[in-house]
Structure 1
Amino acid sequence: MRITRVDTHVVGTPWRNLTYVVVHTDEGLTGLGETRMLGHTDALLGYLKEAQANHILGSDPFATEDLVRRMKYGDYGRAGEIVMSGIACVEMACWDIKGKALGVPVWQLLGGQVTDKVKAYANGWYTTERTPEAYAEAARGVMAHGYQALKIDPFGAGQFELSHRETLDAVALIEAVRDAIGPDAELMLEMHGRFNPSTAVRLAREMAPFRPAWLEEPVPPENLKALAKVAEKVEMPVATGERIHDRIEFRELFESQAADIIQPDLGHIGGIAETRKLAATAETHYMLIAPHNVGGSVLTAASLQVGFSTPNFKVLEHFNDFADAEIKAVVKNAPQVVDGYFEISDAPGLGVEFDADAAAEFPQQQAHFDLFADGWEKREPEARR
């Protein structure tokens, strides 16, 4: 079996573009891959066009290790977010083809089932007015949808520091959300790499009474010594990793023991096998894995293949019940959250199908998302803010 063609489809929203890749073979089987880009969609499409000619066409979709190696190192330049995202789309599509060819789900090919369900947590749900009352109402809607966990960044457009007034506002939002969801639900606290270490520590202590399940990306991701400084001074688990795009670059994070939970994005770190390898290394450092997942249903399905076959898999992020819920129509048999969990599927490959006609209803946009701009949480075009 050989790869004969790679098609790309972009599904657009005002704040994110989702790139879907369909890999065709000479035996008629096709596979799906997906990633989400912020501001780099055209660059990704350009890379995939060149990689198709240089590396992908004629490759054996079963030989994913060789294909990833050639795409990552065969152009000599160091692979960054765009290259690793392109690799991820093609790699997960090849796993989809393998599963379909063998008649088994991808999780079976990764070592088999270790659990029959993966816990989900909701994100993208607080696209509302930034008041305690509005956030509490939105949080109750998440619980009514069946979730038992959610994540929130309550810090507005904060960067490096947060004023006393802004701190009080953030605390009021978290207090309202905790009261709305009750004591048993998990509440993940997101900082988006906003703060310097002292501010992150101070805010973590302010939030401690509301029992966050983790403190995510408290400082910018480039300086792991700063992250270690925070980890030493807070009691809640620290999570990070969504902006690390190479498995090798996690080495320093493991050595520092500065995180308890790693959050690679399958769509940016090279795909399914790269993430599974990373999870295995994390297990040797007693760390859990909770992949970053801001994509659509194909990326969710791919992440779940890892989840069902990985002993130290904690929970999976999910946006599409709240932010841009209508885009779920572009994928048939999309994974659904039931009573707070994704349940295992025996469908071959990734278990989903792409609907190109439905995707055409959501053309590529000049998507823009600035986490340091007022009103970012509403995920609207800037002109409407």
Structure 2
Amino acid sequence: MKISSIKCYTVDPGFRSRTWIFVKVSTDAGIHGWGEAYTLRGRDQAIVAQIGELGTACLDRSPFNIKHFTQVVQDDFAQRRNSFELYCAQSAIEQAMWDIVGKACGQPVYNLLGGKCRESVRVYANGWSDHCRTPDEYAKAAAAVVEKGFTAIKLSPLPGSWRTYVPREHEHHVVSVIRAVRDAVGPNVDILLDMLRRLNAGSASRLGRQLEPFDLYWYEEPCLAENVDALAEVRGKVGIPIVTGETLYGKAAFQPVLNARAADILNPDICNVGGILELKEIGAMAEPHYVAISPHNFNSTTVALNATVHAAAVMPNFTLTEYYLPFAEFANRICPTQLIPENGFIKLPDGPGLGLDLDESLLQQHAGFAGIAPALVSPAVER
């Protein structure tokens, strides 16, 4: 069985000016697989173009040779010159290859990765507070999402532009919001605070110490992940678990974080870290360091979520993963079989491959922008 074509769909979900990018990889045996790439406003067309170029590295190859494919991408195609767009493209194609392999074997992907460690995957709700501004608005929205059954919620209440040095009143606002949310949801709901890489180590440490009384589940990305020393400084001064990793691509980028003991939890994203196998290998790297894995998933609640669930199923040090609540309604149109949380957990799918399919007619109906040619040529030469 060989990969015969790649088709890329860009989809406008009508939310947050964001485009979803799906990749369909087909084979000469009539089996196809789906993958999803991470996207950012202003860079999605570059990601689509990279998917098109990357097709030269996988056409006419066996979809079973996934590890070899990722090696060829990094060593030969990119000549070890990495980029965000490259990792997004690799991630999407790699997921689709796993989907094909699972279908060909008649097994869910997690069975091919070593077997499941759990029957369900815990999720945290995100996106529920996107339109909140005041502490009272955050509190009411938090209570409403907990009423839906979620036992963990994430928010990013730091106001203003993304600047390294912020006014003290912005820090005070964050404390006021967290206090209101904790009062609204009670002591048994996990609150996850995301700082979006916005602060310097001093401000992050000062704010973190003020937040300690509210028993936060984590303090996500107080500083840039690339500044490992700053992260380690914050971790040493704040008694809240530190999270980082969504902006790191490939497992080598996580080694300095682990060596410096700069984080308690890593949150790589399956749609930009390199794919399912790369995420699993990062989990294995983190395990002997006693570092947990909580995959980031600011993607659709279709392909990306399924791929994340399969990877999470096989990692002993997995904790919970992201579920972006506002995306679910539109996602149900293109994928009525999408995974749905129940009481804060998603049951593992038991179908072959990733366990879902997308409606291509609806993908075309909701196209985001002109994508790549449906069939790529120039097959790669096997090594």
Q: TM-score, normalised by structure 1?
A: 0.91
**What amino acid is aligned across from residue 260 of structure 1 in structure 2?**
D
The reply to whether residue 309 of structure 1 matches residue 311 of structure 2 is: no
Q: Choose the corresponding residue for 2:145, options 142, 145, 152.
A: 142
**Among the aligned pairs, what percent are the same residue?**
33
Quick check: 239-248 or 132-141, which moved more? 132-141
Q: Choose the corresponding residue for 2:28, options 15, 26, 29.
A: 26
2:3 corresponds in structure 1 to 3
Q: Choose the corresponding residue for 1:121, options 103, 121, 124.
A: 124
1:90 corresponds in structure 2 to 93
Cα-to-partner distance string for 1:102-135 (whole Å, 9 max, x where unaligned): 1110010110011011110011111224012211
Displacement after TM superposition at 1:79 (Å): 1.8
1:379 corresponds in structure 2 to none
- Cα pair 1:139 1:180 within 8 Å, conserved: yes
1:44 and 1:172 mapped to 2: Cα distance? 39
Residues 357-376 of structure 1 aligned to structure 2 (within 5 Å) = 357-364=361-368
Instruction: Give the 3 Å change call, closer, same or farther, for CA 317–174 of structure 1 in structure 2.
Output: same
2:48 corresponds in structure 1 to 45
Q: Secondary structure at the match of 2:326?
A: coil
1:77 and 1:172 mapped to 2: Cα distance? 46
2:104 and 2:121 mapped to 1: Cα distance? 25
Displacement after TM superposition at 1:361 (Å): 3.9
Displacement after TM superposition at 1:36 (Å): 2.3
Cα-to-partner distance string for 1:186-209 (whole Å, 9 max, x where unaligned): 000111111000100111111111
1:151 corresponds in structure 2 to 154
- Cα pair 1:62 1:98 within 8 Å, conserved: yes
Cα-to-partner distance string for 1:319-360 (whole Å, 9 max, x where unaligned): 0x2246323322231111001101112111100111122223
1:261 and 1:323 mapped to 2: Cα distance? 25
RMSD: 1.5
Cα-to-partner distance string for 1:132-173 (whole Å, 9 max, x where unaligned): 221112111211221100111111125223323222222221
Q: Choose the corresponding residue for 2:262, options 245, 249, 258.
A: 258
Displacement after TM superposition at 1:211 (Å): 1.0
1:69 corresponds in structure 2 to 71
Q: Secondary structure at the match of 2:368?
A: coil
The reply to whether residue 189 of structure 1 matches residue 193 of structure 2 is: yes
**What amino acid is aligned across from residue 32 of structure 2 in structure 1?**
T
1:192 and 1:69 mapped to 2: Cα distance? 31
Gaps of 5+ in 2: 371-383
1:318 corresponds in structure 2 to 323
The reply to whether residue 246 of structure 1 matches residue 250 of structure 2 is: yes
2:260 and 2:80 mapped to 1: Cα distance? 28
1:129 and 1:187 mapped to 2: Cα distance? 16
Displacement after TM superposition at 1:365 (Å): 6.3
2:209 and 2:366 mapped to 1: Cα distance? 43
1:220 and 1:272 mapped to 2: Cα distance? 24
Instruction: Give the 3 Å change call, closer, same or farther, for CA 149–63 of structure 1 in structure 2.
Output: same
Displacement after TM superposition at 1:363 (Å): 2.7
2:351 corresponds in structure 1 to 347
Q: Secondary structure at the match of 1:266?
A: coil
2:142 and 2:330 mapped to 1: Cα distance? 20
1:286 and 1:308 mapped to 2: Cα distance? 18
1:208 and 1:224 mapped to 2: Cα distance? 22
- Cα pair 2:91 2:272 within 8 Å, conserved: yes
Q: Secondary structure at the match of 2:38?
A: strand
**What amino acid is aligned across from residue 4 of structure 1 in structure 2?**
S
1:18 and 1:330 mapped to 2: Cα distance? 12
- Cα pair 1:298 1:331 within 8 Å, conserved: no
2:38 corresponds in structure 1 to 36
Q: Choose the corresponding residue for 1:170, options 165, 170, 174.
A: 174
State the number of aligned residues.
364
Cα-to-partner distance string for 1:254-284 (whole Å, 9 max, x where unaligned): 1101101001111101100011111001001
Cα-to-partner distance string for 1:7-41 (whole Å, 9 max, x where unaligned): 00011244321100000000100000002210211
2:121 and 2:115 mapped to 1: Cα distance? 14
1:232 and 1:352 mapped to 2: Cα distance? 43
2:84 corresponds in structure 1 to 81
- Cα pair 2:212 2:238 within 8 Å, conserved: no
1:161 and 1:44 mapped to 2: Cα distance? 31
